[in-house]
Chains A and B, each alone.
Chain A
Amino acid sequence: MEKLWELKKVNKTYQLTDPLGGAIRLEALKDIDLRLYQGETLGLVGESGSGKSTLGKVLLRLLPVSSGRIFFRTLEITHLPESRLRGLRKNFQIVFQDPYRSLNPRMKAGQIIMEAAAGSFSEKKERARKLLLDVGLSTDDFDRLPHQFSGGQRQRLAIARALGPEPEFLVCDEPTSNLDLSVQAQILNLFLQLKEQYFLTYLFISHNLKVVEFLADRIAVMFRGRIVEIGKSSQIIRSPAHPYTMSLVASSQYRVTRLALRTIPSQGCPYACFCPEFENCCLDYIPALKEIEPGHEVACLIRGK
């Protein structure tokens, strides 16, 4: 399979100002090494604040990296000037979580899509009409405003807009978390259909393991800014190796995992303070991803032996 994206040792640190004075450094991504292949769906799961969305945004250069390198195909885009990025951006688009805040309330549905599309006015209009139909809306919706749509319809519109410039890659940042179960099912079907139709590659970010399991070919699990496990969907779900992944899988099947809560020095494995399989060697250094079976990597000193 052809490599579409490659991240090498990507770090992202947010510099925040403490309201009480001074600066806070928030390390959102730490040493991310990741490859995405053409045509696959990579699911990204993790608790809130683990850096999932940051990773999606850093990938598209919507946020600058602090260190590390990003490659799109063979082109390094880490420090590409904005003028050159503009031309590239039509290849990669994003669908956000909240369709209420990611659509301009003053623009009509058709205009929203046309703004993203390329070509002459009539070409753009034609494309907008086609996309409205492709995402399950009707051409009558062309002149309606975002507030006239329901949540599910807005998300369809947001997807249509993302598809406007004919991208080959979509970051889907929790696109179904705000939707009801029945609407979620419709949108998941839509993602499957569009992938076939437009040969898309997805980075699908979600906290819902069941949704990710359904859509993704491979799953990456994040914890506190690091990828702690990555593998094929079936490997992650059926034989999770990292203790954190195990607790995620258990929770999605409504089983409780006993978490150890120990106070330990903040060094070594980031999961050490919760880990039921903790041993003293976990404090020695931060484990790197290590292959335990073909395509299945885990960052754990105990499990990655």
Chain B
Amino acid sequence: MLNVKNLKVSFYHQGKIPVNILSEVEFDIQSGESLALVGESGCGKTLTALSIVKLLPRHARIDRGEINLLGDNLVNLAEKDMLNIRGKKIGMIFQEPSSYLNPVYSIGNQIAEAIRAPLTKKEKKEKVFQALTEVGLKPMHYWQFPHQLSGGMQQRSLIAMALINQPALLIADEPTTSLDVTTAIQIMTLIQTLQEKHRLALLLITHDIALACHFGDRLAVMYAGQIVEIGPAKKIFSSPLHPYTENLIGCLPEKYQPKQTISAIPGSVPDFRRLPSGCSYHPRCRYRLPVCTCSQPPVFRRDDIKVRCFRYGKTLGTEKS
């Protein structure tokens, strides 16, 4: 369904050296499947999502790679054709629901505006009512304004808006970060139900690895612009391969008895302008090998997990992909 191949995105600021952010990003999502993309802030998660819909910031450019959606390579598509992709084939929801709703239009009005099919006013209204019910809102919310809804209800109306044209792919960028825990779980469950019902492909972007493993079928872990590990979510959560994934899961306070010391990752996230040589995780890695400091690890395959780490180079059935 969606297939991203060897994607490379860099920032070109005038008069400055280009900064490479995403490199060799590869993943695919089948319809009816959810892929959770996890990583810390500034690792390139959102940039990956923006590349897919080609809404990159002004200075960023896709250097190479393919983004195949239903047979089209979006990288080569003209802006005019992208208009038929965004909204129609790809729906998106974001973190802060209130900032994506227009305060002076009613909810129903805004959802109806998103409808791309040539329908009469009455048909559109009918469709919006249906969509509202589907996301757990009531028909009366059609006439209400964003400020009258709670954060969770606003997010629900944005989900209705994203799904109104029956897209094939839904990109959810931190959909629950600004919501309360109880609401967040309701929203995630709603997204999951709708995804299964409409056989959507879901790209779930989040920094919460526990949430990602719970709601994603597959998990992709990103570090410094590269996917370091990708595979079945539950499997990775219980036995992570890449040292970064292992350390990240080890940072969850619920993995410890109260007041035990958490085994935190030493150091901090690297600056994209000064990435370490070789594997970009090597300065923080406790399993560092001599080779890690000088060359970039290729992707190694272990069963259904792909991992970018030299530890899996020799011993395991290797295949460079």
Residues of A near any B CB (own CB < 8 A): 47-48, 150, 152, 180-186, 188-189, 192, 207-211, 213-216, 233, 247-248, 250-252, 254-257, 259
26 interchain pairs (CB within 8 A)?
A: A47-B181, A180-B41, A181-B40, A181-B248, A181-B251, A184-B253, A185-B251, A185-B264, A186-B264, A207-B180, A207-B181, A210-B254, A213-B254, A214-B254, A214-B256, A214-B258, A214-B259, A214-B262, A233-B258, A248-B181, A250-B185, A251-B184, A251-B185, A255-B185, A256-B185, A257-B182
Which one of B253, B256, B262 has the greatest number of beta carbons of chain A within 10 Å? B253
- Residues 142-156 of chain B, each 1 if its beta carbon lies under 8 Å from chain A, else 0: 000000000000000
Chain B residue with Cβ nearest A193:
B261
The contact string, 1 if C-beta is below 8 Å from chain A, for chain B 209-244, is 111001100000000000000000000000000000
User: Does the CB pair A48–B253 fall under 8 Å?
Assistant: no
One of B186, B215, B258 near A213 (C-beta < 8 A): B258
Tell me, yes or no, whether B208 is within 8 Å of chain A by CB.
yes
Answer yes or no: B288 CB below 8 A from chain A CBs.
Answer: no
Given A150-B268, A186-B264; A210-B182 close (CB under 8 Å): no
Per the 8 Å Cβ criterion, residues 257-298 of B in contact with A are: 258-259, 261-265, 268-269
Whether B189 is near chain A, meaning CB under 8 Å from some CB there, is: yes
- Chain B residues whose C-beta falls within 8 Å of the C-beta of A186 in the assembled complex: 264-265
Verify B264–A189 contact, CB threshold 8 A: yes
Q: Does B247 contact A (CB under 8 A)?
A: yes
Q: Of B183, B186, B189, B261, which contacts A192 at CB under 8 A?
A: B261
Report A-chain residues with C-beta under 8 Å of the C-beta of B189.
256
Report the minimum CB–CB distance from A297 to chain B (whole Å): 21
A183 touches B268 (CB 8 A): yes
Nearest 7 A/B pairs, CB to CB = A185-B251, A214-B253, A185-B264, A180-B40, A47-B180, A186-B264, A185-B262
Q: Given contacts A185-B262, A189-B264, A257-B182, is CB(A180)–CB(B207) below 8 Å?
A: yes
A255 surroundings in chain B (CB, below 8 A): 185
Most buried by A among B182, B186, B215, B254: B182
Distance in angstroms between the alpha carbons of A186 and B186 in the assembled complex: 30
A47 in contact with B185 (CB, 8 Å): no
Partner of A184, one of B210, B247, B251: B251
Chain A positions within 8 Å of B41 at CB level: 180
Interface size on B, residues (CB 8 A): 35
- B178 smallest CB distance to A (angstroms): 9
The reply to whether A247 and B248 form a contact with Cβ atoms under 8 Å apart is no
Give, as a whole number of angstroms, the nearest-CB distance from B321 to chain A: 28
Contacts of A183 in B (CB 8 A): 268
Query: Which chain B residue shows the least CB distance to A208?
Result: B181
Give the complex CA separation of A279 and B184 in angstroms.
27
Which residue of A181, A189, A233 contacts B209 across the interface (Cβ within 8 Å)? A181
| A256 x B252 contact (CB < 8 A) | no
Does the CB pair A181–B180 fall under 8 Å? Answer: no
Closest A residue by C-beta to B43: A180
- Among A188, A247, A248, the residue within 8 A (CB) of B262 is A188
Residue of B nearest to A182 (CB): B265
The answer to whether A213 and B264 have CB atoms under 8 Å apart is no
Q: Are A182 and B40 in contact (CB under 8 A)?
A: yes
For A47, what are the chain B residues with a Cβ–Cβ distance below 8 Å?
180-183
Expressed in whole angstroms, the Cα–Cα distance for A181 and B223 within the complex equals 13
Q: Complex Cα distance A186/B252, Å? A: 11
**Which of B180, B189, B215, B248 neighbours the largest number of chain A CB atoms within 10 Å of its CB?**
B180
CB-nearest residue of chain B to A184: B251
Point out which of A181, A183, A248, A254 has the most chain B C-beta atoms below 10 A from its C-beta.
Answer: A181
Name the A residues within 8 Å of B258 (CB-CB): 213-216, 233
Rounded to whole Å, the gap between the CB of B259 and the closest CB of chain A is 6
Instruction: Looking at the assembled complex, report how far the CB atom of A244 sits from the nearest CB atom of chain B, in whole angstroms.
Output: 9
Residues B211 and A254 in contact, CB atoms below 8 Å apart: yes
Cα separation A216 to B253 with both chains bound (whole Å): 12
Complex Cα gap A183–B211 (Å)? 18
**Contact between A181 and B208 (Cβ–Cβ < 8 Å)?**
yes
CA gap between A192 and B268 in the complex, in Å: 20
Q: Which of B159-186 contact A (CB under 8 A)?
A: 180-186
- Known contacts A182-B248, A192-B261, A256-B189; is A247 also within 8 Å of B182 by CB? yes
Task: List the A side residues contacting B269 at CB < 8 Å.
Answer: 180
In the complex, how many angstroms separate the beta carbon of A204 from the nearest chain B beta carbon? 12
- Known A-B contacts A180-B41, A209-B181; the reply to A189 vs B262 at CB < 8 A is yes
Q: Are A192 and B259 in contact (CB under 8 A)?
A: yes
Which B residues are in CB contact (< 8 Å) with A257?
182
Q: Enumerate chain B residues within 8 angstroms of A180, measured Cβ to Cβ.
A: 40-41, 207, 269
Whole-angstrom distance between the alpha carbons of A186 and B251 in the complex? Answer: 8
Q: How far is the CA of A152 from the CA of B264 in the complex (A)?
A: 13
